[in-house]
Amino acid sequence: MTLVTGIAVYFVLWWISLFMVLPWGNRPEAEVQEGNVPSAPAKPRIGLKALVTTGVAAVFWVIIWLVVRSDLIPLRDPGPI
C-alpha cells in the first residue's frame, strides 16, 4: 500500500466511522427551544466523537494494512494464467 493509497483508505474509513459514531449517546432536549427540531441532541459532543472516530478508523486501517501487507488476500496481478 502506497502512502497516497493509505491516506485515501484512512479518509474513507474515517467518514464511515464518523457515521457509525454520530448517533452514540444522543439524547433530545427535555424542553425544546423555539426554532430547534425536537429530535436535535442536547449535547452533541462533536469533539469527543471526532476523537473516537479517529481511533476507530485507525484500528480498522491497521487491520486492512496488515491484511494487505501479509498478502492474506492477494491484491496484485497474478499475471497470465
41 forms bridges with which residues in the sheet? 28
Cell of 43: 449535547
pLDDT at 18: 95
In tens, the pLDDT along 33-73 reads 888 888 888 888 999 999 999 999 999 999 999 998 887 87
pLDDT: is 70 or 81 the higher one? 70
pLDDT at 34: 87
Q: Which of 51, 63, 65, 69 is nearest to 14 (CA)?
A: 51
The count of other CB atoms within 10 Å of the CB of residue 72 is 9
Q: Could you state, in order of their start, the residue ranges of all structural domains in the chain?
A: 3-26+40-70
CA distance 28 to 44: 10
pLDDT at 81: 67
